[in-house]
Amino acid sequence: MKRKVLIMLLSLILMVAVLAGCGNSETGSSGKKHLVWGETQAVSSLDPAVDWQGWFTVRYAISETLFKLDMELVPEPWLAESYENVDANTWKITIKDKVTFSNGDPLTAEMVVNNLKRVGSTNKRAAAFGEAAYVVAGNVITITTASPFPTLINELCDPYTSIIDLDKTADLDKAPIGTGPYVVADFVEKTTIDLTANKNYWDGTPKIDTVQVKFVTDTDTMVMALQSGEVDVAMNLTSDSRETFESNNDFKIEEVSTSRAYFLYYNLQTVADQAVRQAISMAIDKEGMADFLFDGSITPAVGAFPNDLAYGGSHLKGATFNVEEAKKVLSAAGYIDTDGDGIIEKDGKPLSVSIVTYKRLKNEAIVTELQSELKAIGIGGEVTVHDNSDFFKAGEFDIGIYSIVTTAVGDPQAFLSGTLGTAGVTNFGHYYNAETDQLLIQLKAEFDSDKRAQLAIEVQQKALDEFAFDNIGFVNMAMYMDANITGLKPHPTDYYQMNAEMDMN
């Protein structure tokens, strides 16, 4: 009898413990709106001046920049009121006078200059800001650049030029004080970030009181978290989850086409035969991949930029998908399958290429499909998938797939110089064309936007004629969220996510 009582007591305690653990914790007192934001990319610092961290500071509506890009990637005023391009090296920027930081302090022109000087010395990509001279008169800043900088205003849209209250911020990494509608309340590295609404926001009242950013690195776990209600918004889900949510009325999907490309590098030192590159480009079924592999979530591309832009794919001529023609190109160049094993040879050497990529978005899906497409024209493909993209610098690839945003600030120059310029930081294929280098120098100093577009088209077409690179397509970024959320829309730059208008009803 005593034993039975003891066992019942223990089972009861166990049941209570299990149920207590299972219960959902209350996420806030009633009446307050709380949003849980699921994020796959974990952040360890929100200091916007360092590397690409600013993207998160702006996404989470903590900081803002002088100008922002609209849906057509054209700069429009944000913290700045207006600008004047006095001459090739001089710009005058007027700051809005009603702007305050989240701690109530007014935004001053001096603080703006301090931020620009800081990012100029901290971030290699912002070197031009470090080399410029600044003069402040009231709300007007006069910037004198070291050399002509036609894309100055575009660059002032880059999140690394976020304006932070450098004097009053105690912890730049964990709690930078910006002008945005949300403020960091707590930051647990790689786990959660708690944000509260900025009562002093200069541009309206944020509708949602608190937000928690939750890091869920695995996409499949994120899908289930959204379905179970653990998160209200899920970022970076792949098109595989589309079907699950499309037919479910409790959720909605907001989508936008971006300039994030699945870029294909040919290693021009190891795949030196242009005929081989041409054949490979002709064997890639971009439409098929877009429709079936990506369920419509990528837009096939020609060249480096989205079709509709003034310097985009609609103005260029690239390889057309045609497997039979591709085979003809190869046999005309002397590649024949002499031993009947399905792989073509030339001078006794079988044609085989290494297809390399890293784990990001759906890179692996692309290389799997590429390997099969190459086999269809007789080229052997050996696939390697790394954890990160460091292999590009080492040149350990014949064909490499890279995920990169090509018009980060609405202008083609940065990407083209970096990828097709001889000394470019992202010229992993070792592309060299003396004429291209000349055109890029012109592009760097050209102020007229039509002429800029012409130059960009010329540079891309030269490279495309040599089949020096390819582009599978541009990613459509999607935000998956509960159906009762409004005011959240993705942006082609992927800079702007949370905002003061977002609401849950």
Q: How far is the CB of 462 from other proteins (least distance, A)?
A: 31
SS3 for 464? helix
Among 139, 192, 238, 433, which residue interacts with other proteins (rule: CB under 8 A)?
238
Q: How far is the CB of 235 from other proteins (least distance, A)?
A: 15
Q: Which residues contact 408 (CB under 8 A, 6 or more apart)?
A: 158, 259, 414, 415, 493
Q: How far is the CB of 161 from other proteins (least distance, A)?
A: 37
Distance of alpha carbon 400 from alpha carbon 433, whole angstroms: 20
Contact call for residue 223 and other proteins (CB under 8 A): yes
Distance of alpha carbon 463 from alpha carbon 445, whole angstroms: 21
- Phi, psi at residue 87, to the nearest 5°? -150, -170
The interface region with other proteins, picked from 57-65, 189-197, 234-242, 430-438 by CB under 8 A, is 234-242
The interface region with other proteins, picked from 50-58, 131-139, 237-245, 249-257 by CB under 8 A, is 237-245
Q: How far is the CB of 106 from other proteins (least distance, A)?
A: 49
- The number of residues that bind other proteins (CB under 8 A) is 27
Contact call for residue 292 and other proteins (CB under 8 A): yes
Q: Which residues contact 392 (CB under 8 A, 6 or more apart)?
A: 265, 400, 402, 426, 428
Nearer to other proteins, 76 or 243 (CB): 243
Find, among 38, 61, 478, 58, the residue nearest to 233 by Cα.
38
Nearer to other proteins, 64 or 373 (CB): 373
Among 161, 212, 241, 476, which residue interacts with other proteins (rule: CB under 8 A)?
241
Q: Which residues in 341-360 contact other proteins (CB under 8 A)? A: 359
Q: Which residues contact 267 (CB under 8 A, 6 or more apart)?
A: 395, 397, 398, 399, 400, 428, 429, 430
| Bridge partners, 353 (sequence order) | 381
Among 64, 203, 232, 285, which residue interacts with other proteins (rule: CB under 8 A)?
285
Nearer to other proteins, 265 or 294 (CB): 294
Nearer to other proteins, 64 or 369 (CB): 369
Contact 285, 477 (CB under 8 A): no
The interface region with other proteins, picked from 60-68, 136-144, 240-248, 405-413 by CB under 8 A, is 240-248
Contact call for residue 40 and other proteins (CB under 8 A): no
Distance of alpha carbon 323 from alpha carbon 374, whole angstroms: 10
| CA-to-CA dists, residue 371 to 242, 379, 498, angstroms | 26, 9, 39
Q: Which residues in 381-420 contact other proteins (CB under 8 A)? A: 383-385
Among 289, 302, 439, 456, which residue interacts with other proteins (rule: CB under 8 A)?
289
Contact call for residue 219 and other proteins (CB under 8 A): yes
Count the Cβ atoms, other than its own, within 10 Å of residue 255: 15
Nearer to other proteins, 241 or 454 (CB): 241
Distance of alpha carbon 488 from alpha carbon 497, whole angstroms: 7
Q: How far is the CB of 246 from other proteins (least distance, A)?
A: 10
Contact call for residue 461 and other proteins (CB under 8 A): no
Q: Which residues contact 31 (CB under 8 A, 6 or more apart)?
A: none
Contact call for residue 365 and other proteins (CB under 8 A): yes
* Displacement of CA 401 from its chain's centroid (Å): 15
Q: Which residues in 369-388 contact other proteins (CB under 8 A)? A: 369, 371-373, 375, 383-385
| CA-to-CA dists, residue 15 to 2, 12, 254, angstroms | 20, 5, 42
Runs of H (alpha helix) within 83-135: 109-122, 127-131
Q: Element (H or E) spanning 364, and its range?
A: helix 363-376
- Which residue has tokens 């800029």? 452
Among 76, 220, 250, 435, which residue interacts with other proteins (rule: CB under 8 A)?
220
Q: How far is the CB of 367 from other proteins (least distance, A)?
A: 6
Contact call for residue 367 and other proteins (CB under 8 A): yes
Nearer to other proteins, 279 or 439 (CB): 279
Among 230, 345, 364, 501, which residue interacts with other proteins (rule: CB under 8 A)?
364
- The residue ranges that bind other proteins (CB under 8 A) are 219-220, 223, 238, 240-241, 243-244, 285, 288-289, 291-293, 359, 364-365, 367-369, 371-373, 375, 383-385
